[in-house]
Copies of this chain bind each other. A is one copy, B any other.
Amino acid sequence: MPADSLKSLLTRTDLPIARIVRALSALGSATSLDLVRVAGLARSTVSMGLAELRDAGLIVEVEARQNGMGRPTVLFSLTPDSGRCAGVLLGLDEIRIAICDMAHNVLSDRSVPMARDYDPEAAFAVVRAELGADCAALGLRLSDLFGVGLAVSGPISEKGVVAVSSVLPTWSGVDLSAVFGGLGCPVHADNESHCGALAEMTWGAAIGEPDFILIKFDLGIGGAIVLDGQVRRGLNGSAAEFGHLTLDPRGALCRCGNRGCLETMAGASHLLKVAGEMSGREVGLDEFVSAAVDGHIGYRRLIEDAADIAGWGAGLVGTVLDPPLIIVAGGLAKAGELFLDRFVGSYDRHASARSATLPPERRRRFLLGRFLANDTVLGAVALVLHQQCRIA
Protein backbone atom coordinates (compact mmCIF):
# COMPACT_ATOMS: atom_id res chain seq x y z
CA MET A 1 0.00 0.00 0.00
CA PRO A 2 1.55 3.31 -1.08
CA ALA A 3 0.85 5.24 2.12
CA ASP A 4 2.68 2.71 4.25
CA SER A 5 5.67 2.52 1.88
CA LEU A 6 5.92 6.29 1.78
CA LYS A 7 5.54 6.60 5.52
CA SER A 8 8.34 4.17 6.14
CA LEU A 9 10.49 6.05 3.60
CA LEU A 10 9.84 9.41 5.24
CA THR A 11 10.98 8.13 8.60
CA ARG A 12 14.07 6.22 7.30
CA THR A 13 16.40 9.20 7.45
CA ASP A 14 19.44 7.25 6.29
CA LEU A 15 18.30 6.07 2.84
CA PRO A 16 18.95 8.14 -0.33
CA ILE A 17 15.40 7.40 -1.47
CA ALA A 18 14.07 8.79 1.81
CA ARG A 19 16.01 11.99 1.20
CA ILE A 20 14.40 12.24 -2.26
CA VAL A 21 10.94 11.76 -0.76
CA ARG A 22 11.56 14.41 1.90
CA ALA A 23 12.91 16.83 -0.69
CA LEU A 24 9.85 16.23 -2.89
CA SER A 25 7.49 16.70 0.01
CA ALA A 26 9.20 19.94 0.97
CA LEU A 27 9.47 21.32 -2.57
CA GLY A 28 6.01 20.28 -3.76
CA SER A 29 7.33 19.59 -7.26
CA ALA A 30 10.91 19.48 -8.49
CA THR A 31 13.14 18.59 -11.41
CA SER A 32 15.74 15.89 -10.94
CA LEU A 33 18.36 18.65 -10.85
CA ASP A 34 16.49 20.36 -7.99
CA LEU A 35 16.59 17.04 -6.17
CA VAL A 36 20.33 16.61 -6.73
CA ARG A 37 20.82 20.01 -5.10
CA VAL A 38 18.32 19.79 -2.27
CA ALA A 39 18.84 16.15 -1.31
CA GLY A 40 22.61 16.43 -1.73
CA LEU A 41 22.81 13.23 -3.82
CA ALA A 42 24.56 12.25 -7.04
CA ARG A 43 22.55 12.52 -10.29
CA SER A 44 22.64 8.78 -10.82
CA THR A 45 21.36 8.14 -7.29
CA VAL A 46 18.48 10.55 -7.87
CA SER A 47 17.62 8.90 -11.21
CA MET A 48 17.55 5.43 -9.70
CA GLY A 49 15.51 6.62 -6.73
CA LEU A 50 12.96 8.33 -8.97
CA ALA A 51 12.58 5.19 -11.08
CA GLU A 52 11.96 3.13 -7.98
CA LEU A 53 9.39 5.60 -6.64
CA ARG A 54 7.61 5.76 -10.02
CA ASP A 55 7.39 1.96 -10.24
CA ALA A 56 5.84 1.92 -6.75
CA GLY A 57 3.26 4.53 -7.78
CA LEU A 58 4.49 6.99 -5.17
CA ILE A 59 5.34 9.80 -7.57
CA VAL A 60 3.81 11.35 -10.67
CA GLU A 61 5.65 13.26 -13.36
CA VAL A 62 4.47 16.15 -15.50
CA GLU A 63 6.14 17.91 -18.39
CA ALA A 64 6.28 21.70 -18.22
CA ARG A 65 7.56 24.18 -20.79
CA GLN A 66 8.99 27.48 -19.62
CA ASN A 67 6.82 30.24 -21.15
CA GLY A 68 5.17 27.46 -23.16
CA MET A 69 8.26 27.16 -25.36
CA GLY A 70 11.45 25.14 -25.79
CA ARG A 71 12.31 21.70 -24.52
CA PRO A 72 9.92 20.53 -21.79
CA THR A 73 11.18 20.17 -18.23
CA VAL A 74 10.06 17.09 -16.32
CA LEU A 75 8.73 17.87 -12.85
CA PHE A 76 8.21 15.17 -10.24
CA SER A 77 5.83 15.30 -7.31
CA LEU A 78 4.54 12.87 -4.73
CA THR A 79 1.26 11.20 -5.64
CA PRO A 80 -1.20 13.42 -3.73
CA ASP A 81 -3.12 10.56 -2.12
CA SER A 82 -0.01 8.65 -1.11
CA GLY A 83 -0.11 10.11 2.39
CA ARG A 84 -1.77 12.46 4.84
CA CYS A 85 -0.48 14.96 7.38
CA ALA A 86 -2.30 17.02 9.97
CA GLY A 87 -1.71 20.61 10.97
CA VAL A 88 -3.01 21.88 14.29
CA LEU A 89 -3.05 25.51 15.41
CA LEU A 90 -3.21 25.93 19.19
CA GLY A 91 -4.61 29.46 19.07
CA LEU A 92 -5.50 31.82 21.87
CA ASP A 93 -9.21 31.01 21.76
CA GLU A 94 -9.50 28.23 19.19
CA ILE A 95 -7.91 24.98 18.09
CA ARG A 96 -7.85 24.67 14.34
CA ILE A 97 -7.34 21.25 12.80
CA ALA A 98 -6.56 20.51 9.14
CA ILE A 99 -5.70 17.34 7.23
CA CYS A 100 -3.82 17.63 3.93
CA ASP A 101 -2.51 15.27 1.28
CA MET A 102 1.08 15.34 0.02
CA ALA A 103 0.26 18.11 -2.46
CA HIS A 104 -1.14 20.27 0.38
CA ASN A 105 -4.70 19.83 -0.84
CA VAL A 106 -6.78 20.52 2.23
CA LEU A 107 -9.02 17.52 2.91
CA SER A 108 -10.57 18.86 6.10
CA ASP A 109 -10.14 22.09 8.02
CA ARG A 110 -12.15 23.29 11.00
CA SER A 111 -11.91 25.32 14.13
CA VAL A 112 -12.95 24.28 17.64
CA PRO A 113 -13.64 27.30 19.86
CA MET A 114 -11.87 27.18 23.24
CA ALA A 115 -12.22 29.29 26.35
CA ARG A 116 -9.21 31.64 26.75
CA ASP A 117 -6.41 30.17 28.87
CA TYR A 118 -7.44 26.58 28.13
CA ASP A 119 -4.94 24.12 29.53
CA PRO A 120 -2.69 21.62 27.73
CA GLU A 121 -4.66 18.55 28.82
CA ALA A 122 -7.88 20.03 27.43
CA ALA A 123 -6.05 20.77 24.18
CA PHE A 124 -4.79 17.20 23.93
CA ALA A 125 -8.27 15.79 24.56
CA VAL A 126 -9.76 18.01 21.83
CA VAL A 127 -7.03 17.21 19.30
CA ARG A 128 -7.22 13.46 19.91
CA ALA A 129 -11.02 13.37 19.66
CA GLU A 130 -11.57 15.84 16.81
CA LEU A 131 -8.57 14.91 14.69
CA GLY A 132 -9.42 11.26 15.28
CA ALA A 133 -12.96 11.90 14.01
CA ASP A 134 -11.67 13.78 10.93
CA CYS A 135 -9.29 10.91 10.20
CA ALA A 136 -12.09 8.37 10.57
CA ALA A 137 -14.20 10.33 8.07
CA LEU A 138 -11.33 9.86 5.59
CA GLY A 139 -11.01 6.16 6.42
CA LEU A 140 -7.81 6.66 8.43
CA ARG A 141 -6.61 6.01 11.94
CA LEU A 142 -4.49 8.61 13.75
CA SER A 143 -1.53 6.26 13.43
CA ASP A 144 -1.87 6.33 9.63
CA LEU A 145 -0.81 10.00 9.58
CA PHE A 146 2.78 10.83 8.62
CA GLY A 147 2.73 13.21 11.48
CA VAL A 148 1.00 16.05 13.24
CA GLY A 149 2.42 19.56 13.19
CA LEU A 150 1.53 21.83 16.08
CA ALA A 151 1.59 25.59 15.58
CA VAL A 152 1.72 27.45 18.89
CA SER A 153 0.95 31.12 19.59
CA GLY A 154 4.22 31.82 21.34
CA PRO A 155 7.93 31.01 21.41
CA ILE A 156 8.86 27.38 22.00
CA SER A 157 12.23 25.66 22.26
CA GLU A 158 13.52 23.23 19.63
CA LYS A 159 12.61 20.44 22.06
CA GLY A 160 8.98 21.56 22.12
CA VAL A 161 8.94 23.29 25.48
CA VAL A 162 6.82 26.44 25.58
CA ALA A 163 8.90 29.41 26.72
CA VAL A 164 8.15 30.88 30.12
CA SER A 165 6.47 34.06 29.02
CA SER A 166 3.33 35.92 29.86
CA VAL A 167 2.10 35.66 26.26
CA LEU A 168 0.77 32.15 26.88
CA PRO A 169 0.51 32.12 30.68
CA THR A 170 -1.21 28.74 31.10
CA TRP A 171 1.32 27.04 28.80
CA SER A 172 4.57 28.41 30.25
CA GLY A 173 7.16 25.67 30.57
CA VAL A 174 4.83 22.97 29.21
CA ASP A 175 6.60 20.11 27.44
CA LEU A 176 4.47 19.59 24.33
CA SER A 177 6.10 16.23 23.59
CA ALA A 178 4.87 14.89 26.94
CA VAL A 179 1.37 16.28 26.34
CA PHE A 180 0.95 15.20 22.70
CA GLY A 181 3.17 12.11 22.71
CA GLY A 182 0.05 9.96 23.08
CA LEU A 183 -1.31 10.73 19.61
CA GLY A 184 0.32 7.61 18.16
CA CYS A 185 2.19 9.33 15.32
CA PRO A 186 5.21 11.67 15.06
CA VAL A 187 4.53 15.14 16.46
CA HIS A 188 6.36 18.33 15.43
CA ALA A 189 5.87 21.78 16.93
CA ASP A 190 6.90 25.36 16.30
CA ASN A 191 5.76 28.92 16.73
CA GLU A 192 2.79 29.78 14.50
CA SER A 193 4.58 32.51 12.55
CA HIS A 194 7.51 30.18 11.93
CA CYS A 195 4.95 27.72 10.54
CA GLY A 196 3.53 30.49 8.35
CA ALA A 197 7.00 31.06 6.88
CA LEU A 198 7.36 27.33 6.21
CA ALA A 199 4.05 27.33 4.31
CA GLU A 200 5.18 30.26 2.15
CA MET A 201 8.58 28.59 1.56
CA THR A 202 7.04 25.29 0.61
CA TRP A 203 4.07 26.28 -1.52
CA GLY A 204 3.64 30.05 -1.47
CA ALA A 205 5.28 33.43 -1.99
CA ALA A 206 8.77 32.37 -0.89
CA ILE A 207 9.40 29.28 -3.04
CA GLY A 208 13.09 29.19 -3.93
CA GLU A 209 13.90 32.15 -1.65
CA PRO A 210 16.67 31.20 0.81
CA ASP A 211 16.59 34.55 2.65
CA PHE A 212 13.49 36.45 3.65
CA ILE A 213 11.50 37.73 6.57
CA LEU A 214 7.80 37.27 7.11
CA ILE A 215 5.74 39.65 9.22
CA LYS A 216 2.31 38.54 10.19
CA PHE A 217 -0.31 41.14 11.08
CA ASP A 218 -3.21 39.47 12.83
CA LEU A 219 -4.86 40.05 16.22
CA GLY A 220 -1.27 39.92 17.41
CA ILE A 221 1.87 40.53 15.34
CA GLY A 222 4.49 37.83 14.79
CA GLY A 223 7.12 36.94 12.27
CA ALA A 224 9.86 34.68 11.05
CA ILE A 225 13.42 35.07 9.81
CA VAL A 226 14.62 32.65 7.14
CA LEU A 227 18.34 32.61 6.30
CA ASP A 228 19.98 29.98 4.10
CA GLY A 229 16.59 28.27 3.85
CA GLN A 230 16.33 27.75 7.62
CA VAL A 231 13.84 29.34 9.99
CA ARG A 232 16.01 31.00 12.65
CA ARG A 233 14.80 30.39 16.17
CA GLY A 234 17.34 32.23 18.31
CA LEU A 235 18.45 31.19 21.78
CA ASN A 236 14.95 30.71 23.20
CA GLY A 237 12.82 30.26 20.11
CA SER A 238 11.81 33.89 20.39
CA ALA A 239 13.66 35.30 17.39
CA ALA A 240 11.42 37.36 15.10
CA GLU A 241 8.96 38.41 17.80
CA PHE A 242 8.40 41.53 15.71
CA GLY A 243 5.15 42.40 17.50
CA HIS A 244 7.18 43.08 20.62
CA LEU A 245 9.59 45.62 19.19
CA THR A 246 9.52 48.45 21.73
CA LEU A 247 8.57 51.58 19.78
CA ASP A 248 7.74 53.70 22.82
CA PRO A 249 9.29 52.77 26.19
CA ARG A 250 6.62 54.87 27.93
CA GLY A 251 3.73 53.57 25.82
CA ALA A 252 0.81 51.32 26.69
CA LEU A 253 1.48 48.15 28.66
CA CYS A 254 1.65 45.10 26.39
CA ARG A 255 0.54 41.54 27.27
CA CYS A 256 4.27 40.61 27.10
CA GLY A 257 5.02 42.81 30.13
CA ASN A 258 6.92 45.53 28.25
CA ARG A 259 5.58 48.91 27.18
CA GLY A 260 4.86 50.44 23.77
CA CYS A 261 5.29 47.29 21.70
CA LEU A 262 4.44 47.49 17.97
CA GLU A 263 1.53 45.15 18.65
CA THR A 264 -0.10 47.59 21.08
CA MET A 265 -0.32 50.15 18.24
CA ALA A 266 -0.71 48.14 15.04
CA GLY A 267 -2.03 44.77 16.19
CA ALA A 268 -5.55 44.08 14.93
CA SER A 269 -6.74 43.52 18.52
CA HIS A 270 -6.03 47.19 19.16
CA LEU A 271 -7.54 48.33 15.84
CA LEU A 272 -10.73 46.31 16.41
CA LYS A 273 -11.09 47.79 19.89
CA VAL A 274 -11.03 51.31 18.46
CA ALA A 275 -13.29 50.28 15.56
CA GLY A 276 -15.71 48.73 18.04
CA GLU A 277 -15.83 51.92 20.13
CA MET A 278 -16.43 53.93 16.96
CA SER A 279 -19.22 51.63 15.76
CA GLY A 280 -20.80 50.86 19.11
CA ARG A 281 -20.58 47.10 18.60
CA GLU A 282 -18.04 44.32 18.25
CA VAL A 283 -16.28 44.26 14.85
CA GLY A 284 -14.48 41.19 13.46
CA LEU A 285 -11.18 41.37 11.57
CA ASP A 286 -12.47 40.27 8.17
CA GLU A 287 -15.48 42.59 8.43
CA PHE A 288 -13.20 45.47 9.49
CA VAL A 289 -10.82 44.94 6.55
CA SER A 290 -13.65 44.55 4.00
CA ALA A 291 -15.37 47.72 5.18
CA ALA A 292 -12.09 49.66 4.99
CA VAL A 293 -11.38 48.41 1.46
CA ASP A 294 -14.97 49.37 0.54
CA GLY A 295 -14.37 52.93 1.73
CA HIS A 296 -15.27 53.22 5.44
CA ILE A 297 -13.25 56.36 6.21
CA GLY A 298 -12.66 55.66 9.91
CA TYR A 299 -11.51 52.09 9.33
CA ARG A 300 -9.34 53.20 6.39
CA ARG A 301 -7.57 55.69 8.60
CA LEU A 302 -7.00 53.05 11.26
CA ILE A 303 -5.41 50.76 8.67
CA GLU A 304 -3.32 53.57 7.17
CA ASP A 305 -2.01 54.62 10.59
CA ALA A 306 -1.32 50.99 11.50
CA ALA A 307 0.58 50.56 8.20
CA ASP A 308 2.71 53.63 9.00
CA ILE A 309 3.65 52.29 12.42
CA ALA A 310 4.10 48.75 11.07
CA GLY A 311 6.48 50.16 8.43
CA TRP A 312 8.54 51.77 11.18
CA GLY A 313 8.73 48.43 13.02
CA ALA A 314 9.61 46.58 9.81
CA GLY A 315 12.19 49.27 9.03
CA LEU A 316 13.90 48.43 12.33
CA VAL A 317 14.03 44.80 11.25
CA GLY A 318 15.40 45.98 7.89
CA THR A 319 18.14 47.98 9.61
CA VAL A 320 19.13 44.85 11.51
CA LEU A 321 18.94 42.32 8.65
CA ASP A 322 18.82 44.15 5.28
CA PRO A 323 16.67 41.31 3.87
CA PRO A 324 16.10 40.85 0.13
CA LEU A 325 12.42 39.91 0.52
CA ILE A 326 9.73 40.88 3.00
CA ILE A 327 6.50 38.88 3.02
CA VAL A 328 3.50 40.56 4.62
CA ALA A 329 1.00 38.04 5.98
CA GLY A 330 -1.97 37.77 8.32
CA GLY A 331 -5.57 38.94 8.31
CA LEU A 332 -4.71 42.63 8.05
CA ALA A 333 -2.74 41.91 4.85
CA LYS A 334 -6.08 41.06 3.22
CA ALA A 335 -6.46 44.85 2.91
CA GLY A 336 -3.90 44.48 0.09
CA GLU A 337 -2.57 47.75 -1.35
CA LEU A 338 -4.46 49.83 1.19
CA PHE A 339 -2.08 48.40 3.79
CA LEU A 340 0.97 47.53 1.69
CA ASP A 341 1.55 50.88 -0.07
CA ARG A 342 1.80 52.91 3.11
CA PHE A 343 3.70 50.10 4.82
CA VAL A 344 6.39 50.11 2.12
CA GLY A 345 6.59 53.92 2.11
CA SER A 346 7.03 54.00 5.88
CA TYR A 347 9.59 51.18 5.76
CA ASP A 348 11.67 53.25 3.39
CA ARG A 349 11.64 56.27 5.71
CA HIS A 350 12.85 54.21 8.66
CA ALA A 351 15.27 51.55 7.34
CA SER A 352 18.98 52.22 6.89
CA ALA A 353 19.17 50.97 3.26
CA ARG A 354 16.58 53.04 1.43
CA SER A 355 15.27 52.18 -2.02
CA ALA A 356 15.97 55.66 -3.43
CA THR A 357 19.70 55.19 -2.86
CA LEU A 358 19.86 51.68 -4.33
CA PRO A 359 20.07 50.48 -7.92
CA PRO A 360 16.86 48.69 -8.97
CA GLU A 361 18.35 45.18 -8.80
CA ARG A 362 19.45 45.84 -5.20
CA ARG A 363 16.08 46.97 -3.90
CA ARG A 364 14.26 44.67 -1.57
CA ARG A 365 10.95 43.17 -2.68
CA PHE A 366 7.71 43.24 -0.73
CA LEU A 367 5.10 40.54 -1.36
CA LEU A 368 1.79 39.67 0.18
CA GLY A 369 1.70 36.14 1.57
CA ARG A 370 -0.17 33.58 -0.51
CA PHE A 371 -1.98 31.91 2.39
CA LEU A 372 -3.48 34.81 4.32
CA ALA A 373 -6.34 32.67 5.65
CA ASN A 374 -4.62 29.40 6.58
CA ASP A 375 -0.83 29.76 6.50
CA THR A 376 -0.54 28.54 10.07
CA VAL A 377 -2.22 25.15 9.70
CA LEU A 378 -0.62 24.65 6.28
CA GLY A 379 2.70 25.55 7.86
CA ALA A 380 2.13 23.00 10.59
CA VAL A 381 1.69 20.45 7.77
CA ALA A 382 4.89 21.72 6.12
CA LEU A 383 6.62 21.29 9.48
CA VAL A 384 5.87 17.56 9.27
CA LEU A 385 7.17 17.37 5.69
CA HIS A 386 10.35 19.31 6.47
CA GLN A 387 10.80 17.17 9.58
CA GLN A 388 12.05 20.15 11.50
CA CYS A 389 11.51 20.38 15.23
CA ARG A 390 10.27 16.86 15.81
CA ILE A 391 9.30 16.52 19.44
CA ALA A 392 7.58 13.10 19.74
Contacts and interface: CB of A to CB of B under 8 A. Distances in A.
Interface stretch (A55-63, A224-232, A268-276, A378-386): A224-232
A312 B249 contact: yes
Per DSSP, are chain A's interface residues mostly helix, strand or loop, or mixed? Answer: loop
B228 A352 contact: no
A239 interface: yes
B241 A352 contact: yes
A359 B362 CA distance: 42
Interface stretch (A103-111, A315-323, A330-338): A315-323
Interface in A232-266: 232-242, 244-246, 249, 256-258
A235 B319 contact: no
A82 interface: no
A354 B315 contact: no
Contact of A350 (B242, B258, B357): B258
A350 B352 CA distance: 21
A256 B318 CA distance: 15
Nearest to A241: B352
B324 A235 contact: yes
Nearest to A358: B236
B164 A239 contact: no
Interface in A304-331: 312, 315-317, 319-324
A324 B323 CA distance: 21
A374 interface: no
A163 interface: yes
Interface residues of A, number: 46
Contact of A225 (B244, B257, B321): B321
A94 to B, nearest CB: 24
A37 interface: no
A253 to B, nearest CB: 12
A145 to B, nearest CB: 31
Contacts of A177: none
Interface string A119-130: 000000000000
A364 interface: yes
A75 interface: no
Given A246-B315, A249-B312, A315-B246, A258 B349 contact: yes
B362 A165 contact: no
Interface of A: 155, 163-166, 225, 227-228, 232-242, 244-246, 249, 256-258, 312, 315-317, 319-324, 349-350, 352-354, 357-359, 362, 364
Given A234-B321, A244-B352, A246-B350, 19 more contacts: A155-B353, A164-B358, A164-B359, A232-B321, A235-B324, A239-B320, A240-B320, A241-B319, A241-B352, A241-B353, A242-B319, A245-B320, A246-B315, A246-B316, A249-B312, A256-B352, A258-B349, A316-B320, A320-B321
